[in-house]
Amino acid sequence: LPESIGDLTKLMLLIISHNKLLSLPESICNMSGLSKLSIRENKLQTLPDSIGNCSELSHINMESNLINSLPDSICSLSALQTLDMNSNKLSNLPDKISSVISLTELYFGDNKFTSIPD
In tens, the pLDDT along 6-49 reads 999 999 999 999 999 999 999 999 999 999 999 999 999 999 99
pLDDT the model gives residue 44: 98
For 57-79, what is the mean pLDDT?
97
- Interval 81-108: pLDDT, tens: 999 999 999 999 998 999 999 999 999 9
Asked if 21 contacts 43 with a C-beta cutoff of 8 angstroms, the reply is yes
Residue 13's DSSP bridge partners are: 36
CA distance 38 to 84: 9
Residues paired with 37 in a beta bridge: 14, 60
Band (118; pLDDT cuts 50, 70, 90):
low
* Count of residues in the chain: 118
The pLDDT of residue 23: 95
